[in-house]
Structure 1
Amino acid sequence: MERLRAEAAGSPEYERLAAAEPDGLAAALTSAGRPLWARELAAYRLGLAGDRRAFEALVLLLNHRDPPRCAAAARALAALGDPRTARAAAALATNALRTAYALEPVRLLVALRAPESVPALITTLSRLLSPHDPYWRVALACVEGLGVLADPAAREVLGRAQAHPRLAVAATRSLHLLPR
């Protein structure tokens, strides 16, 4: 909220949206000409309130180039409880063209513990195991998440991740968390 207050730069619309009821927030999502911070504020508040009208806006924000926006969208999506969330997060995490923005979708998949989570993390991690892949932080989040989820299906990809210098320690730790 403080980040959005700073982006609003004193706009009276910030205080109005911060105090708005759900119908006013939903209207802010659909009306033309609203700045990004206003749409994010409305979607975030609706998501935390469990109002599914925020779903599409939050998924768009989850895939934004600005990491704090992605993190806020992930928090709101986790609170929202919409059954479409895991499928959307999995699609974003596994999209090879959007890997630079996959960190928060990966973390969200771990938090959701949905049936889509492990397959999406395995797919994403498998693609990122080349030694010089620039998205090693996303790969690390996958490794750590697979340990948290403790699904034996991750054993093979975690074994391969042990050969990666930046992932080896976390991969070994995650392998120890898998049931025998």
Structure 2
Amino acid sequence: MEDHFHELTDRVRGELRSPADLVTYERLLGLARKNTPAGREELARMLTAVERPLWTREIAAFSLGCAGDRRAFETLVLLLNYRDPVRCATAAHALARLGDPRTARAAAALATNPLRTAYALHPVRLLVDLRAPESVPALISTLERLLTPHTPYWRVALACVEGLGALGDRRAVPALTSALDHPRLAAAAAASLARLDSAGNGSR
């Protein structure tokens, strides 16, 4: 957690606007580092506090999520679907460590929603990290939808291709084979198919 926590706190420090913000920021950092039951209670209250800047909820949710406190789930899913990719990445890291059984379902819903494709990169990567039953079907569905010429979301498609290779499930073969016809995906699709073939050969 430490490296990601430092990246988060360094970024958030640039969002502070007043001496009161600095006091709140330092209070949150102290609570997160101590990780005591009383501290987690205070962090949890930050998740629903009104008239607070988003960064307070982000620090609280990240800290609680990495500590396995499921009260962070709703805020982390909100951040996973946020317009700022850096906040999405932070949320995905915490969700991967949260251990909440709802996480894979939520990530799959975000990844497969055609109205949210612009924000699907980190949900896709999270599904790969989780290796949940929802992961492969969601990645296949998302990839198949993006196998159109000149898609602006080819990075999401590429994450699906690479993730399907890492997950090693042969249900992905048809979608990966179709991806061979797309110049930006072809090399990764060939590599993922080779990984699936190698895994299959090794299991016999």
TM-score (norm 1): 0.98
Unaligned runs of 5+ in 2: 1-8, 32-38
Aligned residue runs from structure 1 range 15-164, under 5 A: 15-20=26-31, 21-164=39-182
How far is the alpha carbon of 1:171 from its aligned partner? 0.2
Counterpart residue number, 1:8? 16
Q: Deviations over 1:84-108 (max 9, x none)?
A: 0000000000000000000000000
Question: Whole-Å Cα distance in 1 between the matches of residues 131 and 194 of structure 2?
Answer: 19
Give identity over the alignment, percent: 68
Q: Deviations over 1:12-36 (max 9, x none)?
A: 1101111121011000011111100
How far is the alpha carbon of 1:4 from its aligned partner? 1.4
Letter in 1 for 2:11: R
Question: Whole-Å Cα distance in 1 between the matches of residues 190 and 149 of structure 2?
Answer: 17
Q: Secondary structure at the match of 2:101?
A: coil
TM-score (norm 2): 0.86
How far is the alpha carbon of 1:6 from its aligned partner? 1.6
Letter in 1 for 2:86: P
Q: Give the number of the structure with larger relative contact order, counting CA–CA contacts within 8 Å between residues 6 or more apart.
A: 1
Q: Secondary structure at the match of 1:32?
A: coil
Q: Deviations over 1:16-63 (max 9, x none)?
A: 111121011000011111100111111011101110000000000000
How far is the alpha carbon of 1:8 from its aligned partner? 2.4
Tell which structure's C-alpha radius of gyration is larger. Answer: 2
